[in-house]
Amino acid sequence: MSFSVAEVRKDFPIFERTIRDGKRLVYLDSGATAQKPWVVINAESDFYSKHNAAVHRGAHQLAEEATDAYEGAREIVAKFIGGQESEVIFTKSATESINLVAYAMGNALSGNRFALSASDSIVVTEMEHHANLIPWQQLAARTGAQLKWFNVTQDSRLDLSNIDQVITANTKVVAVTHQSNVLGTINPLEAIVKRAHEVGAVVVLDACQSVPHMSVNVVELDVDFLAFSGHKAVGPTGVGVLWGKAELLDELPPFLTGGSMIENVTMTTATWAPVPQKFEAGVPNMAQAVGLGAACKYLSELGMDAVREHEIALTGYALEKMSSIDGIRIVGPLENVARGATVSFTLAEIHPHDIGQYVDSQGVAVRTGHHCAWPLARAMNVPATTRASFYLYNDERDVDALVEALLGAQKYFGRF
């Protein structure tokens, strides 16, 4: 089945509305959050209107239905990323997923493989979103471990030339993004995973910008933990996923404790339920998890390879058209190789916030600023950028609208 943007757009009710006095909505901010198809909106709504009950408890039919829907979503998500159901943990966000791993490691006692001390190191990269940087900075600060990182080259790739010096026998964790939320760069995981495993470190993959856009298989990638958010993958807000290898999740201490995550409790002690319940304390975001199940099913039916192919073609078109604008600097790989459909740029002296405001007046939604990756902005020597992030419902018309709006902004701010 060939991929049809026109057909896809019909699934997303938001494209029926107009923006800024009747203009066509050109939504180029899916890197921040994706729009939602009816199947997701309906799945969440149906959960509340037909099946709502607290999962994993309650001796009644609704509780059974709610549990089936919630666990059914877990099964869909596991299949979507090539993992096992028992390895999929629902969180409230990818940020929480990463914090879960970082805080749980901080809870590890001496003797546990995750226990960190001052002689250990944690490795990140300069292109991390704050969500995959600050939890590790904080873990390093709490444990005394050293924080190390890979730099970014001026052509927007990770500098792995010193990989053996950055990832050493002392490294316990390597936390890296699959695809940069600013540059669009897709990182070469194979080399990083190989080196990390050579020294016995675990790899934590921030897959927020990859899982929604390409086929991701945790077994093939051979990473140890993977985090992504539901809302960037056409799913609801308020749900994220942490996937981890079964034997690692078994050994990792819990992060949040309380109801649902226990096996046995006395007044002074508690033992833990098996994974994934061990990491899902409290009543979870059930309707959102069910909505995420619907989202993953929707994406699977479209085919993630088809989505990726569509985005590659669109990125090629965008890079070509945007490069033709006078004074533009694309902050990210210029060649359409190992990159996703996120195109950040600066436009001569016009501040990104002013660009964003102008293109919004033309119906074009972009993001401006440092995109929660401040160290990366500094490394690329830009105070801020404008970011257009494309997705499955965008087409060449949207690129054309962006380019036209940018030319308009140049004219508008060049008045003086």
Query: Does residue number 357 form part of the binding site for other proteins (CB under 8 A)?
Result: yes
Contacts 24+ apart (CB under 8 A), 296-301: 296/76, 296/77, 296/79, 296/80, 296/233, 296/235, 297/39, 297/76, 298/11, 298/37, 298/39, 298/40, 298/234, 299/80, 299/212, 299/233, 299/234, 300/76, 300/79, 300/80
Which lies closer to other proteins via its Cβ, residue 282 or residue 327? 327
Q: Which stretch binds other proteins (CB under 8 A): 197-205, 237-245, 322-330, 352-360?
A: 352-360
Query: Does residue number 317 form part of the binding site for other proteins (CB under 8 A)?
Result: no
Query: Does residue number 327 form part of the binding site for other proteins (CB under 8 A)?
Result: no
- Within 17-36, which residues bind other proteins (CB under 8 A)? 20-21
Is position 372 annotated as part of the catalytic site? yes
Among 113, 142, 353, 411, binds other proteins (CB under 8 A): 353
Query: Does residue number 137 form part of the binding site for other proteins (CB under 8 A)?
Result: no
Q: Which stretch binds other proteins (CB under 8 A): 94-102, 132-140, 201-209, 407-415?
A: 407-415
Beta carbons of 148 and 121 less than 8 angstroms apart: yes
Which lies closer to other proteins via its Cβ, residue 17 or residue 415? 415
194 — phi, psi (to 5°)?
A: -60, -50
Q: What burial letters (b/e) apply to 212-237, b meaning 16+ CB within 10 Å?
A: bbbbbebeebebbbbbbbbbbbbbbb
Q: Who's near 179: CB < 8 A, 6+ residues apart?
A: 185, 186, 187, 207, 209, 210, 213, 340, 342
Query: Does residue number 412 form part of the binding site for other proteins (CB under 8 A)?
Result: yes
Q: Which stretch binds other proteins (CB under 8 A): 143-151, 199-207, 237-245, 362-370?
A: 362-370
Among 189, 322, 347, 384, binds other proteins (CB under 8 A): 384
Beta carbons of 292 and 99 less than 8 angstroms apart: no
Query: Does residue number 413 form part of the binding site for other proteins (CB under 8 A)?
Result: yes
Looking at 233, 372, 401, 405, which residue is catalytic?
372
Which lies closer to other proteins via its Cβ, residue 63 or residue 379? 379
Nearest to 97 by CA among 214, 247, 216, 252: 252
Active site residues: 372
> What is the contact surface with other proteins in residues (CB under 8 A)?
20-21, 351-354, 357-358, 361, 368-370, 374, 377, 383-384, 412-413, 415-416
